[in-house]
Amino acid sequence: MTEQASENGHDYRRVLLKISGEALMGDGSYGIAPQMVDTIAGDVAAVAQSGVEVCLVIGGGNIFRGVAAAARGMDRAQGDYAGMLATVINALMVQNALERHGVPTRVMSAIHMSSVAEPYIRRRAVRHMEKGRVVIFAAGTGNPFFTTDTAAALRAAEMDCDALLKGTQVDGVYSADPRKDGNATRFETLTYLDVLAKDLHVMDAAAISLARENRLPIVVFNIHAPGAFSRVMRGEGLFTRIVEAR
C-alpha cells in the first residue's frame, strides 16, 4: 500500500474502473438508462471525492458491437469502428453525470475527435488524475478487433494503476452463471491462469494476459449494488480478486 493510499483510508492510490456498456442499460435491452448512469456516477464520485485517483473505461455493447454486426454481414473492422464510436457516446453521458455530482472530468479518446474529447495522451492523462480529475478513456484502444476489456487492461497498465476493477451484473466470478444455476459458487480469489484455464469469461484472454504480465490485480464486483464501488475500495462487500497466486 502506498503512502497516499493509507492516508485516504483506502487500499488503493489509483484505480481504473471498467464499466460495460450493458451496465448503463439498466433493465432495458438497448441504449442508456439515465437513472442507472446517475447511480454509477454517484458511486464513482464518492470514491473520487475520497481522494482515490479514478479513471474509467466504458464499453459500448449497449449500443453497437462489431462482432454482432459482422455476424449479420457487416465488414468486421468497419463494425468495430462503429462500436468504438458507441463508447464515446457512453463516455459523454457518464461525463455529464459525473459533473452533476461535482466531479471534474476529462474524456480522452483513442480516436481523434477534437470537438468532443481530448486526444489520448498518456502523460496528460496522468496529470489530469494528479489534479483530481476523473479521466474517461473513450474509443477503446482505437483499434478494431479489440475489446474495451483489453483497452481497460492496457490503460490501467499505462496509468500504473493499483488495480483494474470490473463492474459487472453479478458480485464476482462464479463457477457457473448464478442467474441460471443455483449451485454456482463464487470464487474469493482466482489466479490469472485459473481464469484462462477454466475459460471463465470474466474478461477476454488478451485483457487477462495483459493484466498478468503487468501484475495488475483485477477485482470483479456488482456495479448495480449502490455504493459497491466504495465498499470494494475499502475491501468490504462481495467481490472476486484475480491475482498471480492464490
List contacts with ligand UDP (CB under 6 A).
Answer: 20-22, 59-61, 65-67, 79-80, 83-84, 86-87, 140-141, 143-144, 146-149, 151
* 221 has binding-site annotation: no
Name the residue type at position 21: G
Helix (H) or strand (E) segment spanning residue 16: strand 14-19
Residue 202 and residue 173 in contact, taking contact as beta carbons nearer than 8 Å: yes
State the minimum distance, in angstroms, from the CB of residue 226 to ligand UDP: 21
Helix (H) or strand (E) segment spanning residue 168: strand 163-168
* 20 has binding-site annotation: yes
Which residue, 13 or 221, has its beta carbon nearer to ligand UDP? 221
Whole-angstrom CA distances from 131 to 6, 56, 128 are: 19, 16, 5
State the minimum distance, in angstroms, from the CB of residue 104 to ligand UDP: 25
Burial class (CB in 10 A: 0-12, 13-18, 19+), 99: middle
Q: Which three-class secondary structure state does DSSP give residue 17?
A: strand
Residue matched to cell numbers 492464490: 246
Which residue, 120 or 174, has its beta carbon nearer to ligand UDP? 120
* 18 has binding-site annotation: yes
Residue 67 and residue 155 in contact, taking contact as beta carbons nearer than 8 Å: no
* 240 has binding-site annotation: no
Sign of torsion over alpha carbons 74, 76, 78, 81 = positive
* 141 has binding-site annotation: yes
Q: Which three-class secondary structure state does DSSP give residue 197?
A: helix
* 177 has binding-site annotation: yes
Residue 106 and residue 128 in contact, taking contact as beta carbons nearer than 8 Å: yes
State the minimum distance, in angstroms, from the CB of residue 100 to ligand UDP: 23
Which residue, 5 or 69, has its beta carbon nearer to ligand UDP? 69
State the minimum distance, in angstroms, from the CB of residue 32 to ligand UDP: 12
Which residue, 11 or 55, has its beta carbon nearer to ligand UDP? 55
State the minimum distance, in angstroms, from the CB of residue 67 to ligand UDP: 6
Residue sitting closest to ligand UDP (CB): 59
List the binding residues.
18-21, 60-61, 65, 80, 141-148, 168-169, 174, 177
List the binding residues for ATP.
18-21, 61, 65, 168-169, 174, 177
